[in-house]
Copies of this chain bind each other. A is one copy, B any other.
Amino acid sequence: MKRIFDEVYGTIELDDASVNLIDLPEFQRLRRIRQTSLAYIVYPGATHTRFSHSLGTYYLTNKIGQRLVHEGIINQDELNVVKVASLIHDIGQFPFSHAIEAYYLKQGLGNKEVRDLLLRGSFGDSLSNYGFDPREISDIFSGSSLLTSIIDGDVDVDRMDYLVRDSTHTGIQLGRIDLDRLIFTIMYKEKGISVRDKGIISLENFYLSRLHMYQAVYYHKTILGYELFLTNLYSRLLEECESIEVKDVRETISNQTFPYWDDEWVFGSLYKCYRENPNSDFAERIKDFLDRRGPKVVFDEISYNEKDDSKFREATETLNRVIPEDFLYPYEESITIFDKSRISIISKEVEVTVDRYPTLLQSIPEKLVIRRIYVDRRFVDRAREFM
């Protein structure tokens, strides 16, 4: 057993099996991938990593899991497996998470696919050596069992940890959730969750925190702009200086250099590329990124449903005509906040749907739709002229 200091929970105890997994290079890599990508540009304290988030997720799984074992809902073996799954759930994350994943996703490779590749490769072998079946863990990730619900099921330990952790590091209170109460009133099912009426306000609070954190951090105007900028720089980087396409990612996994493909690698490569040709146009843009001269929003529309994207389309078309493609970043995303149909409430031993119980959940929007257009700083005036 090992004890690790955690800035959120105080101390996290790791059992011996987990200590072994943590020592693997693929897990150590997570120390070099920031949890909230470029959010530190706006919230300087948000430099925490997928490593500490993974430990935190493990910690919560253990806490909820022990309750479920105690209540006879899962057994100790299942707890052990879901603990491992929660520990390694982010093993396939890309450098700078979604910003770089965006590049590969277009070609069908996302972090879940990478995780699967790792589980089927030497990382999976290590799991086997330590007595875990990589396929069983893979099944939790892809399945729809109760165990899946715990780590990837809306009100899951992954989200619980990151809401609290990201709140702590950004210094904003909005994301604080009532973890203690939630942990003891939530019940996982194969399809969705239920919550006892005592815990309903904790669940409301969870969804509201999430909604607020989307707005204050994950889709923050400035942060998102820098992430789009980085996605753009990355594709240029691959064209001009480095070559790490989908097949190369696969190769890093098989030749075990994957652990060194991380946030630092991206910065190191930008520096290298910058130095090799310091007077190029690309070098200038790298410098813009590093010196914090990111793109600006010229169109911004937030709504709670997907209807009517006409203004956005129109603006995009207009700007497409007057601004070079490489300097224009239209962005449209429909984020599911929550899915009422997957939640039920247990009141006086009876299970009812959200619609039949007086709760704020009824009025929380199910979707958050963000439509924005960013343009590079040097084209802001031009963009505004045409809008």
Residues of A participating in the B interface, judged by any CB pair closer than 8 Å: 3-11, 23, 25, 28, 31-32, 34, 40-49, 51-52, 55, 168-174, 176-181, 184, 201-202, 204-205, 208, 211-212, 215-216, 257, 259-260, 262-265, 267-269, 271-272, 274-275, 278, 287, 290-292, 302-304, 358, 360, 363-365
How long is the Cα–Cα vector from A172 to B10 in the complex, in angstroms? Answer: 7
Min C-beta distance of A273 to chain B, whole Å = 11
Q: Determine whether the beta carbon of B275 is less than 8 Å from that of A264.
A: no
Chain B residues within an 8 Å CB radius of A181 = 11, 172
Q: Determine whether the beta carbon of A173 is less than 8 Å from that of B168.
A: no
Q: Determine whether the beta carbon of A40 is less than 8 Å from that of B31.
A: yes
**Within the oligomer, what is the number of copies of this chain?**
4
Closest to A52 in B: B44
With A265-B267, A360-B365: A290-B260 Cβ-Cβ less than 8 Å: yes
How long is the Cα–Cα vector from A181 to B303 in the complex, in angstroms? Answer: 22
How long is the Cα–Cα vector from A43 to B172 in the complex, in angstroms? Answer: 22
Chain B residues within an 8 Å CB radius of A48 = 44-45, 47
How long is the Cα–Cα vector from A380 to B358 in the complex, in angstroms? Answer: 25
- 5 additional contacts (CB under 8 A) given A3-B184, A44-B52: A6-B45, A10-B180, A47-B49, A205-B212, A265-B268
Q: Determine whether the beta carbon of B271 is less than 8 Å from that of A260.
A: yes
Min C-beta distance of A3 to chain B, whole Å = 7
Chosen A-B contacts, 27 in total, with CB atoms closer than 8 Å, are: A5-B42, A5-B45, A7-B44, A7-B45, A7-B46, A7-B171, A10-B171, A11-B180, A11-B184, A23-B292, A28-B292, A34-B47, A44-B55, A173-B176, A174-B202, A201-B215, A205-B208, A208-B208, A257-B275, A259-B290, A259-B291, A263-B264, A264-B271, A267-B268, A268-B269, A268-B271, A363-B364
Q: Determine whether the beta carbon of B5 is less than 8 Å from that of A171.
A: yes
How long is the Cα–Cα vector from A338 to B8 in the complex, in angstroms? Answer: 32
With A5-B171, A216-B201, A259-B291: A268-B275 Cβ-Cβ less than 8 Å: no
How long is the Cα–Cα vector from A172 to B4 in the complex, in angstroms? Answer: 11
Chain B residues within an 8 Å CB radius of A52 = 44-45
Q: Determine whether the beta carbon of A302 is less than 8 Å from that of B358.
A: yes
Chain B residues within an 8 Å CB radius of A358 = 302-304
Min C-beta distance of A212 to chain B, whole Å = 5
Q: Determine whether the beta carbon of A174 is less than 8 Å from that of B205.
A: yes
How long is the Cα–Cα vector from A31 to B25 in the complex, in angstroms? Answer: 26
Min C-beta distance of A83 to chain B, whole Å = 18
How long is the Cα–Cα vector from A202 to B173 in the complex, in angstroms? Answer: 9
How long is the Cα–Cα vector from A4 to B184 in the complex, in angstroms? Answer: 12
In the complex, the 5 A-B pairs of residues with the closest C-beta atoms, listed nearest first: A268-B268, A7-B45, A264-B267, A363-B363, A44-B52
Task: Among B49, B168, B178, B216, point to the contact of A7 (Cβ < 8 A).
Answer: B168
How long is the Cα–Cα vector from A269 to B287 in the complex, in angstroms? Answer: 19
Min C-beta distance of A10 to chain B, whole Å = 5
Q: Determine whether the beta carbon of A290 is less than 8 Å from that of B28.
A: yes
A25, A173, A178, A201 pick with most chain B CB within 10 angstroms: A173
With A25-B290, A178-B172, A290-B260: A271-B275 Cβ-Cβ less than 8 Å: no
